[in-house]
Amino acid sequence: QKQKFMITTFCHGLDMLIGGRGIALGQITEFCGVPGVGKTQLGIQLSVNVQIPRSMSGAEGEAIYIDTEGSFIVQRVVEIANGTIEKLNESSDGKNDLPLDLETVLSRIHYFRAHDYIELLALIKIMDQFLKEHRTVKLIVIDSIAFPFRQNFSDMMLRTRLLNMIAQDLAIIAESFEIAVVLLNQMTTRFGNSGNSDKVTLVPALGDSFNNKCPNQIILYWREDMRFAHLVKSASSQEATVQYQITTSGIRD
Ligand code: ATP
Ligand code: MG
């Protein structure tokens, strides 16, 4: 039987939450949360960790990072990459050769900047061709999917249509190339939830139609100075909540 490769987050609780050993290939997984909660940190962590060799139960792939917000900071990627390299060296116990070095890790993250939704749509359209030329890519991160659709979008019908098209294109890409697609999403306020018109709640941005198309959805949130991940829906796991941390070296338990 073919072994299922996953992408570890380096937070055991979070890995367990989303199916046991991390993010599954072949599917879309959406992480939603307020500013500063750690979406970009997680996106970077996964872009590094997708490269973990198969001998260490990794997916041994490359990453595509589509940045719509301009928040991909190379210095931070270096810190997280060094954290991963250190952790792999510890667990290999000095028996193996260095599994990864910093330069290699950085060269295996293909970075794209999309300044608006037109550029994002164009990138998704050429993705098929890019992936045919880069067969080792095992992860696509979009940071964030919401941002380009939140400014100056007057035509809400068009917005819904484009978002549905993106969700569909990404689902096909994920499945046909056996790639993990990770969407980072913002939160938006909704008024009058559950019959109470005064109630204000935070819900994932982009609307129900889009969110319904994502089979795996996790909400990241803060309570005091602790960070939590709540699994809203999943193809394989039960609804649950776990704690995670962001350290200098990246995402941890
Ligand atoms: P936004 O919606 O604004 O993009 P985000 O969810 O992407 O927010 P991140 O940028 O991923 O948020 O997280 C920022 C947080 O990560 C900081 O507030 C800080 O707590 C933590 N962080 C960033 N760098 C480090 C570091 N070097 N060491 C420890 N924690 C860090
Ligand atoms: Mg961010």
210 or 1, which is more confident? 210
pLDDT in tens, 27-41: 999 999 999 999 999
State the average pLDDT over residues 67-76: 97
For helices 74-92 and 39-49, the axis angle rounded to 10 degrees is 50
Residue among 246, 248, 252 whose CB has most ligand 1 atoms within 8 A, to mutate: 246
- Sole residue written with tokens 């070095």: 101
How many whole angstroms from 3 Cα to the centroid of ligand 2? 32
Ligand 1 residue neighbourhood (C-beta within 6 Å): 33, 35-41, 69, 71, 76, 79, 186, 246-248
- Name the nearest CA neighbour of 123 among 105, 140, 109: 140
DSSP 34: -
State the average pLDDT over residues 217-245: 94
Residue among 32, 41, 251 whose CB has most ligand 1 atoms within 8 A, to mutate: 41
How many whole angstroms from 40 Cα to the centroid of ligand 2? 4
Is a pLDDT exceeding 60 seen at residue 112? yes
Is a pLDDT exceeding 80 seen at residue 96? no
Q: How many other CB atoms sit within 10 Å of the CB of residue 86?
A: 11
- pLDDT score, position 195: 65
Q: pLDDT confidence of 101, banded at 50, 70, 90?
A: very high
Is a pLDDT exceeding 90 seen at residue 199? no
The two three-digit tokens of residue 19, written as one number:
């199916």
Contact indicator for 54, 5 with CB cutoff of 8 Å: yes
* ipTM of the complex, rounded to two decimals: 0.99
- pLDDT score, position 1: 44
pLDDT in tens, 138-170: 999 999 999 999 866 888 899 999 999 999 999
Read off φ and ψ for residue 19, nearest 5 degrees: 125, 5
How high does pLDDT run on average in the chain?
A: 92
